[in-house]
Structure 1
Amino acid sequence: MFFVTLLTIVVALVQAVQIPLGALPEDSRRLSAAPIWHFMHVLGGATFGILGPLQFGRVLLRRYGFLHRVMGRVFVAAGGMISLSSLSLLWHFPDTYSAAVNCGRLLFGIALGVALAIAMRAIYQRNVTSHRNWMIRAYAIGMGATVVTMVFLPIYAITGEPPTGLASDIVFLGCWTACVVFAEGLVRRI
């Protein structure tokens, strides 16, 4: 899973450097109107993407339980940053995407925060199975944009412009939903 998220993490880290330098590409310049929220989104996403695969490994939990708990708190904070910043970016840029995509972004932004809250409540109640299941769901929601990137980046590289239109909206929402459905299938198999 780490390899799949690596591309999005690299893009996020590049943007994290571009934001304070004012060096965002032309199609991302609008984000300079809300640089703190965009920076939080990028930094939270990169941290979430890096820590997720490490947190789900059983070796870390069994051999280094303390490290798992510390990294888990950082993971949850990063997920919270993604959730809050995504909602803020949606508020700042309501006209960037279609109404359908904005509804999806709103739903997934809220769902990420809710999934993390349920996961934390479960671990405080010592319900490890529920905690793990909700963390898997949260990770799938948080990294849903990775699947979108994996589909849209080649199109952008070939055409030089981001995909637009109804087909783009369907693919955008379908990729994110597929990620969540995959996680739900994984939860039910575990």
Structure 2
Amino acid sequence: MTTRSRLVPISLVALSLVPVVAGAFRVTELAAGAPIDDGNARFFAAPVPVVLHIVGATVYCLLGAFQFDAGLRRRRPGRHRAAGRVLIPCGLVAALSGMWMAVCYELPPVDGTGVMLLRLVVGGAMVLSIVLGFAAVRRRDFAGHRAWMMRGYALGVAAGTQAFTHLPWAVAGVAPDELGRFVAMAAGWVINLAVAEWLIRRSRRGPVPARAAVARPVG
């Protein structure tokens, strides 16, 4: 990988580190039988969905970051396709388990109904993006495939961005109220989608070279 092409996946991996580390801590807590309190009781009561969510999201965010390396796609199209076959189910598992938890787990007091509905909308949009991206590549619409997969990834990796959108409360040393939590969560998803749409529109300003298009079959 060239230095420039390496920069994008490295940046995305760095953005993913906060939720990945938090997820690893949660799985360790469940495996080790940590003391149960109001913050983790729902996870101990039904651990399967949260473990599926963490594993799916971790693979989706970390492996998915390297799908954005254009040089790697051109040199190793088979690797890009193989990664895509892993990423599609992982992304779907992450989104669907997140939606399940939003509905079936007891709501934390700070989240409220607004955040629950927001999670459902975003989870549904992520599932739709992945499905449309897969459908696009099946009909060899590589530009559409890339666009939809970028949108799905932007939604999936937003937990990293949300660590920054919560910074004002962290700096102030206070917990956000329900409205603040809703705004911080929504801002993370909106920022990521805005960046993804900007990149998609930028890539469509010129024709996609045939060789590059062939290198984008899945993922």
TM over 0.5: yes
Displacement, 1:17? Answer: 2.4
Larger CA Rg, structure 1 vs 2: 2
What are the within-5 Å matches in structure 2 for residues 107-146 of structure 1? Answer: 107-146=121-160
Displacement, 1:173? Answer: 1.2
* Partner of residue 61, structure 1: 73
Considering fraction of residues, name the structure with more helix: 1
AA in 1 matched with 2:83: M
Q: Is the 1:34–1:89 contact (alpha carbons within 8 Å) kept by the matching residues of 2?
A: no
Displacement, 1:162? Answer: 4.8
> How many aligned residue pairs are there?
189
Displacement, 1:154? Answer: 7.9
Length-normalised TM-score, structure 2? 0.78
CA 1:123 to 1:40, structure 2 compared with 1: closer, same or farther past 3 Å? same
State the alpha-carbon separation in 2 of the partners of residues 19 and 157 from structure 1. Answer: 29
State the alpha-carbon separation in 1 of the partners of residues 78 and 28 from structure 2. Answer: 31
* Partner of residue 164, structure 1: 177
CA 1:172 to 1:89, structure 2 compared with 1: closer, same or farther past 3 Å? same
Displacement, 1:20? Answer: 2.4
Aligned partner (choices 25, 28, 32) of residue 21 of structure 1? 32
Q: Deviations over 1:114-167 (max 9, x none)?
A: 0000000011111111111111000011112221123337845974x7533312
State the alpha-carbon separation in 2 of the partners of residues 57 and 119 from structure 1. Answer: 18
Structure 1 runs, 4 residues or longer, greater than 6 Å off: none
Is 2:56 the counterpart of 1:35? no
Is 2:96 the counterpart of 1:73? no
Is 2:186 the counterpart of 1:185? no
State the alpha-carbon separation in 2 of the partners of residues 104 and 68 from structure 1. Answer: 32
State the alpha-carbon separation in 1 of the partners of residues 22 and 97 from structure 2. Answer: 17
Q: Is the 1:141–1:176 contact (alpha carbons within 8 Å) kept by the matching residues of 2?
A: yes
SS in 1 for 2:124: helix
| Structure 2 gaps, min length 5 | 1-11, 204-219
AA in 1 matched with 2:196: A
AA in 2 matched with 1:82: A
Q: Is the 1:123–1:131 contact (alpha carbons within 8 Å) kept by the matching residues of 2?
A: yes
| Structure 1 gaps, min length 5 | none
